[in-house]
Structure 1
């Protein structure tokens, strides 16, 4: 009976730990069109001049 209870608890909590990992500080790769670069201050692509 104890094994069943422990298995149930583990299977119930396992998805919660995976869900919690999604809330960390993640950076997403951003790609811009040719002739533009990513500006982290404005969080947009800006044209490269020069």
Structure 2
């Protein structure tokens, strides 16, 4: 019983760390810009949207 409790506690402790490590890549984050602007990946900033 003590081994099961220890393993369960270990799983609960390490789960948030593993989830955090998997989300550390900033390319997967969503970027939202103000209305009338769009995200420009080249300049890494919101720029005015040009309507043609």
Q: TM-score, normalised by structure 1?
A: 0.64
The correspondence for 1:19, drawn from 14, 17, 20, is 17
Superposed displacement of residue 37, structure 1: 0.2
Query: What is the CA RMSD across the aligned residues, in angstroms?
Result: 2.0
Q: TM-score, normalised by structure 2?
A: 0.62
Larger radius of gyration: 1
Q: Secondary structure at the match of 2:47?
A: strand
Q: Distance in 1 between matches of 2:43 and 2:29?
A: 15
Divergent runs of 4+, >4 A = none
**1:9-48 residue pairs with structure 2 within 5 A?**
9-24=7-22, 25=25, 27-48=28-49
**Structure 1 gap segments, 5+ residues each:** none
